[in-house]
């Protein structure tokens, strides 16, 4: 199995397991992106964030980097005909991606960086940050482990099940979540907003380049 095999059932599976929880996290800082021109979405999957992004920002041009052709097909299907010209899909392994055009002022990585081990997260953040403008935004949603108490134990238990599933069912190399925060800071980003969901199991963060 792979993300490609999971693609047709990914949306219904998320709905059954998490309802609107992950979508609330993906879109928590969407209103901050008004006026942006060029967005880069990493590992966008079946396009749940893309759908709301193109509706909220009618002037935005979007590039989606996604390795799975099946996920790309799912994401393409949700776009209205008049939105398709604004969205470009690149079927690419992120670690081999070379930025080809002018800088991006928005990056979004939702439930994506948790697929990688720390050195991979560091390389991805460095490479993608190198393709952003001096005042770029970076939205991140991901799973997290709270610092202490029953919330921590609960999150460790859920992460254990989740990683066992994804490591068996897909090409995910990670064994646990790697917070991208130190790498984003090193690349010049500062956190401007953060929200936690579901007893701290999930977070949404709005980062922006220091120059802003």
Ligand X SMILES: C[S@@+](CC[C@H](N)C(=O)[O-])C[C@H]1O[C@@H](n2cnc3c(N)ncnc32)[C@H](O)[C@@H]1O
What is the rounded distance in angstroms from the CA atom of residue 75 to the CA atom of residue 102?
Answer: 24
Number of helices (H), then strands (E), in the chain = 7, 7
Measuring CA to CA, how many Å separate 174 from each of 4, 150, 171, 181? Answer: 18, 24, 9, 17
Positive or negative torsion for Cα 34, 27, 97, 116 = positive
| Window 143-202: residues binding ligand X (CB under 6 A) | none
Nearer to ligand X, 45 or 180 (CB): 45
What is the rounded distance in angstroms from the CA atom of residue 68 to the CA atom of residue 86?
Answer: 20
Using the structure block, give the residue that is written with the tokens 């002018």.
102
Nearer to ligand X, 2 or 135 (CB): 2
Three-state secondary-structure class, residue 76:
helix
Q: Does residue 138 touch ligand X according to CB under 6 A?
A: no
Q: Does residue 136 touch ligand X according to CB under 6 A?
A: no
CB of 146 to ligand X, least distance (A): 21
Binding track over 17-56 against ligand X, x by CB under 6 A: ---------x----------------xxx--x--------
Q: Which of 29, 89, 112, 143 binds ligand X (CB under 6 A)?
A: 112
> For the purposes of burial, counting CB atoms within 10 Å of the CB of 53, is it exposed (0-12), middle (13-18) or buried (19 or more)?
buried
Nearer to ligand X, 87 or 94 (CB): 94
CB of 7 to ligand X, least distance (A): 7
CB of 212 to ligand X, least distance (A): 25
What is the rounded distance in angstroms from the CA atom of residue 16 to the CA atom of residue 9?
Answer: 11
Nearer to ligand X, 95 or 176 (CB): 95
Nearer to ligand X, 63 or 68 (CB): 68
Q: Does residue 93 touch ligand X according to CB under 6 A?
A: yes
> Which parts of this chain interact with ligand X (CB under 6 A)?
3, 26, 43-45, 48, 65-68, 71, 93-95, 110-112, 115
């Amino acid at each position: 199995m792979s993300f490609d095999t999971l693609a047709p059932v990914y949306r219904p599976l998320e709905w059954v397991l998490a309802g609107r929880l992950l979508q609330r996290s993906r879109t928590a800082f969407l209103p901050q992106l008004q006026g942006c021109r060029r967005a880069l979405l990493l590992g966008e999957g079946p396009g749940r964030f893309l759908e709301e992004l193109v509706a909220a920002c009618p002037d935005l041009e979007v590039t989606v980097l996604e390795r799975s052709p099946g996920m790309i097909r799912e994401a393409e299907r949700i776009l209205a005909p008049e939105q398709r010209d604004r969205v470009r899909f690149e079927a690419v392994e992120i670690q081999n991606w070379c930025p080809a055009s002018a800088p991006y002022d928005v990056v979004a990585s939702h439930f994506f960086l948790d697929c990688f081990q720390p050195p991979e997260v560091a390389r991805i953040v460095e490479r993608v940050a190198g393709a952003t403008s001096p005042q770029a935004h970076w939205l991140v949603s991901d799973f997290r482990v709270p610092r202490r108490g029953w919330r921590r134990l609960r999150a460790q238990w859920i992460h254990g099940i989740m990683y066992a599933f994804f490591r068996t069912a897909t090409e995910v190399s990670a064994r646990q979540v790697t917070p991208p925060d130190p790498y984003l800071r090193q690349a010049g980003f500062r956190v401007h907003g953060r929200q936690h969901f579901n007893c701290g199991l999930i977070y949404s963060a709005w980062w922006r380049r220091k120059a802003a």
